[in-house]
Amino acid sequence: MQLNKRQFLMGSAALAMAGRVGGARAANAISYWHHFTSQSEMTSLMKIIGSFQAANAGVAVTQENIPNSEYMAKVSSAVLTGGRPDTAMVIAERFADLTAMEGLIDLTERVNGWQGKANFPENRWTGLSSNGAIYAVPAFAFVDWMYYRADYFEEAGLAGPPTKFDEFLGACRKLTDPSKGRYAFGMRAGAGGFKYVIDVMEAFGSPIVKDGQPAIDRAAAVEAITFYSDLFLKEKVVPPSAPNDSYRQIMEGFRTGQTAMVWHHTGSLNEISAAMKQGNQFSTAPMPAGPKAHVARVAYAGNGIMKEDNIEAAWQWVSFWGQTDAALTLLEGTGYFPASAAALQDQRITGNPIYNAAVETLKFGRLPNNFVGAAGWSENVVNPAFQSVLTGQSTPEQAVDRMIQGLEAALR
Amino acid sequence: MIESKRRRRTVANIATYFVLAGLSMFCIGPMIWMLLTSLKYEADIVTQTMQYIPRRVTFDNYVAIWTQSGFPRLIGNSITVTFLTVTICVATGTLAAYAFSRFAFRGRTQLMLGYLVVRMFPAVMMIIPLYVVMRGVGLVDSRFGLALAYTSFLLPLFVWMLKGFFDSAPRELESAARIDGSTRLGAMVRIVMPLARNGLVASSVFIAIAAWNEFLFALMLTTGQGSRTWPVGLQLMVGEFQLPWGVLAAGGILSILPVVVLFAIVQRTMVQGLTAGAIKG
Amino acid sequence: MTSSSSRYLPLRALGELSETRYWMYLLLLPSLVMILLVIAYPTLYGMAISFRDMRLTRPGLDGWVGFKHYAGMWSDPVFWIALKNTVVWVTAAIVLELALGLLAATALNRDLPGTKIFAVLILLPYFLPNVVAGHMWALLLDPRLGVINDLLVRVGVLETYKAWFADPNTALAATVLVEAWHGFPFFALLLLAGLKSIPEDLYRAAAVDGAGVSAQLRLITLPMLKTVIAAAVILRVIGLVNSPDLLLILTGGGPGDATQVLSLYAFQTAYKEFNFGYASALSVVMFVILMIFAAAYIRLSRITKGEGDD
């Protein structure tokens, strides 16, 4: 479902007014920090706020959107100085840091007494728990998968999407044709690229952290970095811009036909569907499996409570996100997968073949690494270390050593 | 001899026009591209074949930015913050600049350097403690608080620039007034201020532009729509899951307009002020 | 009548006060109070943090650690790279901005008919927020959608589109270009003002003595502009060293650490790793470097030598 701009604008204006009127009357106003930005995300959020306020007279939600890249900067200074919002969105990668800085309130008792809890299998809570205590209610999931150009695959005589890394490499070689300006794989090595570097390392059998201790297997990690960087350096099946390519660039590469495959999660489905036809032009598949493990992330994002002042209203709001209708509003608006198992049974998911790969991934996908300092290490160490291999400034061995050192410093 | 001189002048004139035209192209070329981008549909921006002149023109991007980002509110906040900053700087900085320019006193050089040192504190170091202070007095997330924060590093700039203008205002008139029995205060208000008026405007414009464009403090010290400024609002549109080139370009175009309007208003005074000599050579 | 005289009374008192020897200090008071109020505590606090362990994600870790962070910097390779990049980045940007600014100011100063409009056009980039300038240039130089690449390919300079920010050899240069574009009007404006204050007679006399354009530049223009240039340079250096926003948007310090500078490194250390102690130490080092630079520079150029004597 795509809203055009006018519909969006009218809708959000109406909702904004409704929200304001409600706010004036409401006994309770709670604030909600999040990093939704795009039109489709904001429209869905407004809808969810609207239906929440309709169902909970007397509670008004004031949403504050914060740039994603500066989200933790804002949250950490709020924690440090006491300017906390009532509730906030928490993605899995940031959960450990947020609880470590004592930014979230323990919700274990409330969750245990909540009837909606049964809708969420145990692994939904794992990523949002620390030392046995639950700190957030799962709302939606980022399910990693692969987008590929079905038409390019057909042209190259490939039967289907690759399922293993060696098939992936083979397909890459066939799909690349620099004379047409076409490359097989849109590698993300700019901002956020660390995610896939870590995935490949684990797929080659190197864990990152075990029992709170650094656990990188140097040999396996070097093998992984060599394989992954060779796609760019030796095989040249990746666009030359890769070291600075972030989400925006890999998507533009895919949409303009420069690349045939990109790795991302379900959240970009709507945007790609707007530019290309599902099925004929592009399709989706699970991530290929590495030699030692099949790695694809399923990261649950939830909503937590950051201060006690309005805790009853805040709890109503964060638990509202766990309901099927809210989850499906978000899915239809954006492509984010529901976290609730009940919502996954819904006809709107089971009846749409494009979601098969995501449903498949849910079976084997693993949670992201969850340790204090994970985000800082990934962004400030893994990213530059891998980039410097791509640009020839260091060898895979040096890069892995830097990652190990950085990890030790982060966990110390 | 005269012939060759004239020829040399003609060559110099042509070279001047050439340089000016080249620099202007360098300056506004990117902005023209931004303007063109803002009029294109998304599909015509993210495309394999470059479109120099948009084949179809749309104003959707402008409509989107006006409504979607809360543009009027953001611009309103930016104007308020800028206005407050300039007011505080002019009210307090003018006196300081005058003192530095006209009096020799102990510790003058050190104090002037002290003002400069204040400007050197890195923003990263300042933000958290500043936040704590602002919170203590209830100024977090307020436009006045943000203006105060700007003052901390713009006031020294203002004083330094304005001192230069005061230096170049002739002292003879002032001395004459003093001989006629005017107090120092009277001489300052009645004689020197009017003389340095243009310089005052020019310095204020520098401060205004800096406050208008500031990003880091604005990002960290404001949260709500009530006090968020325009650059922060603009950065917010660059989400993870969208490619808003057209909207972004429209925002860029709109963000120059108020400054250009302001500049058009004060341009005359400013040019005169500058002609009088900004920082005396 | 009485009311008006009583209203003037404080004014007269102020006038009398202006005759005392404390007058200049009174003039300085408001701005000093203003600055101290906003700056003093944050600065001391920020400096104090640099001697403490303060990691938000380790609430247990808290206490004085002396010079630990400073010692840590010594063996931190990223710090040295960032330091080197800061020097290169700032120097290159300043040189380019000064050269372009001087060129623009000299040309504008000739006051040829119709050149007023050029002055406005040349000033325009300065009006753009860093955020806008950064994103705009990201699009212009984009490896897929960038018009600059397209033009260079058409002209034949490039064979294919180049990813300027992905190659460590061009990334820093590209960011310098963006910074120069954005910052040179500041120089142009100040230098133009300086040029206007040079008496025409000097040039005429020099021309009579047979001095050429380059000799005039060397013997008259540059010496006369010395103070303006010195002040503009120092203000700009401070601004450039302290503000990470443009690089934050364009490259985030990459690829590798090719565009990592101190201000950005401090920002990332504080807000990605939440290691405020180390970030503060980095900031203090930046501050000290700036102080040393400013002190040396001011001594060399003597810009505070004022005309203040009453």
Q: Nearest-5° angle of CA C254, CA C256, CA C258?
A: 65
Q: Are residues A256 and A204 in the same domain?
A: yes
With a cut of 50, list the residues of chain B below it in pLDDT: 277-281
Between chain A and chain C, the number of residue pairs with CB atoms below 8 A apart is: 112
The answer to whether B281 contacts chain A (CB < 8 Å) is no
Q: Are residues A30 and A78 in the same domain?
A: yes
C-beta separation of C188 from C122 below 8 A: yes
Backbone angles phi, psi at A298, to 5 degrees: -120, 105
CA distance B47 to chain A (A): 5
Q: Are residues A357 and A393 in the same domain?
A: no
Residue with tokens 């009583």: C6
- What are A182's strand-pairing partners? A177
Q: Are residues A158 and A253 in the same domain?
A: yes
Q: Where are the beta strands (DSSP E) in A81-154?
A: 87-90, 129-130, 133-134, 136-149
Give the DSSP H or E segment for A337.
strand A337-338
Which of B16, B260, B278 is closest, CB to CB, to C127? B260
* Domain assignment of residue A281, given as a range: 144-297+370-411
pLDDT at C29 over 80: yes
Q: Are residues A277 and A404 in the same domain?
A: yes
Q: Are residues A291 and A224 in the same domain?
A: yes
Q: Are residues A22 and A78 in the same domain?
A: yes
pLDDT at B129: 83
What DSSP line would sit under A221-280, residue for residue?
HHHHHHHHHHHHHTS--S-TTGGG--HHHHHHHHHTTSEEEEEEEGGGHHHHHHHS-BTT
For residue range C140-156, list pLDDT tens digits in order. 999 989 999 999 999 98
Q: Are residues A246 and A388 in the same domain?
A: yes
The domains of chain B are located at 2-38, 69-275
The answer to whether C62 contacts chain A (CB < 8 Å) is no
Tell me the C-alpha distance between A141 and A298, whole Å. 6
What DSSP line would sit under A32-51, residue for residue?
EEE---SHHHHHHHHHHHHH
What is the ipTM metric for this complex? 0.85
C-beta separation of B39 from B54 below 8 A: yes
Q: Are residues A308 and A325 in the same domain?
A: yes
Backbone angles phi, psi at A58, to 5 degrees: 95, -10
pLDDT at A27: 57
Residues of B in contact with A8 (CB under 8 A): 68
Please, how many CA atoms are within 13 Å of residue A216, restricted to the half-sphere of its CB? 25
The domains of chain C are located at 77-301
Q: Are residues A109 and A204 in the same domain?
A: no
Residues of C in contact with A245 (CB under 8 A): 166
The answer to whether C142 contacts chain A (CB < 8 Å) is yes
Q: What is the pLDDT along chain A (412 residues), one digit of tens a residue?
A: 344 444 444 444 444 443 343 333 345 889 999 988 777 788 899 999 999 999 988 899 988 888 887 888 889 888 887 789 999 999 988 999 999 989 999 999 999 999 889 889 888 898 899 888 999 999 999 999 999 999 999 999 998 999 999 999 999 999 999 888 899 999 999 988 999 999 999 999 999 999 889 999 999 999 999 999 999 999 999 999 999 998 889 999 999 999 999 999 988 888 888 889 988 899 999 999 999 999 999 999 999 999 998 999 999 999 999 888 888 888 888 888 888 888 888 888 888 888 999 999 988 999 998 888 888 899 999 999 999 999 999 999 999 999 999 999 888 7
C-beta separation of A77 from B128 below 8 A: yes
State the average pLDDT over residues C67-74: 91
pLDDT at A147: 96
Residues of C in contact with A380 (CB under 8 A): 268-269, 272-273
pLDDT at B1: 57
pLDDT at B42: 84
CA distance C53 to chain B (A): 15
Amino acid identity of residue B31, one-letter, is: M
Q: Are residues A150 and A287 in the same domain?
A: yes
Residues of A in contact with C159 (CB under 8 A): none
Tell me the C-alpha distance between A286 and A361, whole Å. 6
Judged by CB atoms closer than 8 Å, whether chains meet at A384 and C256 is answered as yes
C153-173 burial, b at 16+ Cβ within 10 Å, e below that, comes to: eeeeeeeebbbbbbbbebbbe
CATH number of C77-301: 2.40.160.20, 3.50.50.60, 1.10.10.10, 1.10.3720.10? Answer: 1.10.3720.10
Give the list of residues 6+ apart from residue B93 with CB closer than 8 angstroms, or none.
B155, B158, B159, B162, C31
Residues of C in contact with A242 (CB under 8 A): 163, 166
pTM: 0.87
Q: Are residues A303 and A251 in the same domain?
A: no
CA distance A243 to chain C (A): 5
State the average pLDDT over residues C236-256: 88
DSSP secondary structure code for residue C221 in this structure: I
Neighbours of chain A (3+ CB pairs under 8 A): B, C
C-beta separation of A388 from C257 below 8 A: yes
Residues of B in contact with C23 (CB under 8 A): 99, 103, 184
Tell me the C-alpha distance between C67 and C47, whole Å. 12
Q: Which of C82, C37, C38 is nearest to C279 (CA)?
A: C82
C-beta separation of C188 from C101 below 8 A: yes
Structure tokens at C275: 């290691």
The answer to whether B46 contacts chain A (CB < 8 Å) is yes
Give the list of residues 6+ apart from residue A109 with CB closer than 8 angstroms, or none.
none
Closest alpha carbon within chain B to C193: B274
pLDDT at C303 over 80: no
Q: How many folded domains does chain A comprise?
A: 2
Closest alpha carbon within chain C to A411: C58
pLDDT at C308: 39
The answer to whether B216 contacts chain A (CB < 8 Å) is no
The verdict on domain B69-275 having CATH code 1.10.3720.10 is yes
Q: Where are the beta strands (DSSP E) in chain B?
A: none
Q: What is the CB neighbour count within 10 angstroms for residue C60?
A: 8
Residues of B in contact with C208 (CB under 8 A): none
